[in-house]
Amino acid sequence: MTATISRPETGSGTAGPLLCTCVVDVTHDVRSFVLRPAVPAAYDFEPGQHLTLTVPVAGEPLSRCYTISSSPRRAEELTITVKRVPGGPVSNWLHDHLRVGDSVLADGPLGRFSTTHHPAARYLFLTAGSGITPLMSMLRTVHADRADVDVVLVHHARTPADIVFREELRTIEAEHPGVRVVVVCETDAADETWTGPRGRVCLEQLRAAAPDLAEREVLTCGPAPYMAAVRDLLAEAGADPARCHEESFSFADAPAPVAGTSTGTTYAVELRRSGRSFRCGEGTPLLSAAAAAGITLPSSCQEGVCGTCTTQVLSGRVEMEHQGGIRPREVAQGKTLLCCSTPCEDVVLDA
């Protein structure tokens, strides 16, 4: 009998250490890591959600978000699928150091980019590169459930050698009558000539794959230029923006903290638990001011999306402009995202 690890309401609740039980090479630069709770337990998550992993890089803990690529129907274990990224410290650390029997610290799962939150009878999944991982979790769940839905997945890869989950996509398509997979490559691989559709994403491709795309629930994940192109194409096709959903940041490549636009006025910020303090300029995100003061706080996307830096405000007022990384109930409880919150007066944080 196993216990159940429930989804925390915020990213501040560490789910605990996860034990690596298997490492699988998916492509030449993409690797899947199968993880289990250190204490046997079912892991409660929704398809498309992500974890924040913290690993030691050069002696310092670094956190990054990674989508769970496995289905929650196999709740006793979960899988993250990671692309090696030039200059990506955590992704490369995972590739170079995480082996079977090792543990990593995980927080989450988090996120609302999921068919669970966008139920529909017909879906269009649009992915590029390793952006396929959240949609793969959803597709695996559709397959596991034998769900009575119509799913068209259009995946863009640079070459045939870069197609993530290539064989499994074909297997799911063959076994589920409601699933159709279209893979588009930009060019050939060194050892394979691509005979399928070619080129970058365009409306002609999307309409050929899903002529009724404007009537489908659309979920998109991929690199920023791809996402921007898809956004324009869906608008041109007349898709309802309310039915178009996207994972709007790269989990693996967190941007540098934003410096903000300080007016010259500064406020005192106290971190109650650690006993540290710093000054934060008006208009400067708290996370950026902390980093400038040499204080490293848990964070990942730094765009108000992932929820990793959710922190309780004990006193003082802040202004926050997030992108869905915090729930209304959390805001009502006095919590804030440090990456996109600026102080209005002296503040005390539970950090």
Element (H, E) at 143: helix 132-145
Q: For the whole model, what pTM was predicted?
A: 0.77
Among candidate residues 254, 324, 219, 223, the one with its CA nearest the CA of residue 53? 254
**Which residues does residue 154 pair with via DSSP β-bridges, in sequence order?**
126, 182
**Cα end-to-end distance, the chain, whole Å:** 36
Residue 280's SS3 state is strand
What's the pLDDT score for residue 84?
A: 93
Among candidate residues 44, 237, 32, the one with its CA nearest the CA of residue 126? 237
The backbone torsions φ and ψ at residue 123, rounded to the nearest 5 degrees and listed phi first, read -120, 150
Say how far apart CA 165 and CA 136 lie, in whole Å: 8
Query: Among 3.40.720.10, 3.40.50.720, 3.40.50.80, 3.40.640.10, what is the CATH number of 122-248?
Result: 3.40.50.80
How many other β-carbons are positioned within 10 Å of the β-carbon of residue 148?
9
Query: For the CA atoms of 107, 112, 117, 122, what is the dihedral angle to 10 degrees?
Result: -120
Cβ–Cβ < 8 Å for 138, 234: no
CB-count burial class (<10 Å; 0-12, 13-18, 19+) for 327: middle
Q: Locate tokens 């000054």: which residue?
A: 279
Say how far apart CA 130 and CA 84 lie, in whole Å: 10
pLDDT under 70: residue ranges of the chain: 1-15, 248-263, 324
Instruction: Report the chain's C-alpha Rg in angstroms.
Output: 21
The token pair at 106 is 């995980």
Residue 14's SS3 state is strand
Query: Among 2.40.30.10, 1.20.120.1810, 1.20.1730.10, 3.90.1150.200, what is the CATH number of 16-110?
Result: 2.40.30.10
What's the pLDDT score for residue 237?
A: 96
The backbone torsions φ and ψ at residue 153, rounded to the nearest 5 degrees and listed phi first, read -110, 120
Cβ–Cβ < 8 Å for 107, 11: yes
What's the pLDDT score for residue 250?
A: 52
Cβ–Cβ < 8 Å for 82, 3: no
Residue 18's SS3 state is strand
Measured at the alpha carbon of residue 320, what is the angle toward residues 319 and 325, in degrees to the nearest 5? 160
The backbone torsions φ and ψ at residue 184, rounded to the nearest 5 degrees and listed phi first, read -120, 130
Cβ–Cβ < 8 Å for 284, 257: no
The token pair at 329 is 């109930």
* CATH number of the domain located at residue range(s) 266-350 in this protein: 3.10.20.30
Sketch the domain layout of the chain as residue ranges.
Answer: 16-110, 122-248, 266-350
pLDDT tens-digit map of 20-45: 999 999 999 999 999 998 777 777 88
